[in-house]
Structure 1
Amino acid sequence: MPDFDDWRQGAACRDQDPELFFPLTEMGPGARQTARAKAVCARCPVRAECLEYALDHGLDHGIFGGTTETERRELRRVRTSRRAA
């Protein structure tokens, strides 16, 4: 997998306002902001690399790889339980 600086160059979010990817909440206005951020991620050619980076580095805040903090926590929980099995 390429290092962070390599894949980041192709990210769809590169020219977006970074604030878009850090909603204060997943409810109300934050839900609309989350949906807009995820729409950018949906068309991103390096979405998988971004998600892996977020999971590998424990990024707990913001939208990364098209996932919210809550979704990444669940992905980490599933990964951990699979490794334990």
Structure 2
Amino acid sequence: MVRFGRDQGGRAVQDRVPGPVRRALRRLVAVVHDLTGEGAYLLYCEHHKRTHPGQPVLSERDFWRERYLEQGHDPGSRCC
């Protein structure tokens, strides 16, 4: 959820933002989140727990290390 903080009167700023604008901002944050790959580790954790119950999940650091190594070996559609 998009958090805007509080104004000088202590009221939540998001309370003054119209609903459609708030929803659009939430969607924008979600798109940026997906484009930057921030949700990749959470998706991995959910998938791993569902498909490999009882097995340990990689730490976030190890997950990213393996992901970048894999991208280096299989660049896909990247040019470099």
Task: Give the TM-score range, shorter chain.
Answer: under 0.3
Higher relative CO (CA 8 A, sep ≥ 6), structure 1 or 2? Answer: 1
Larger radius of gyration: 2
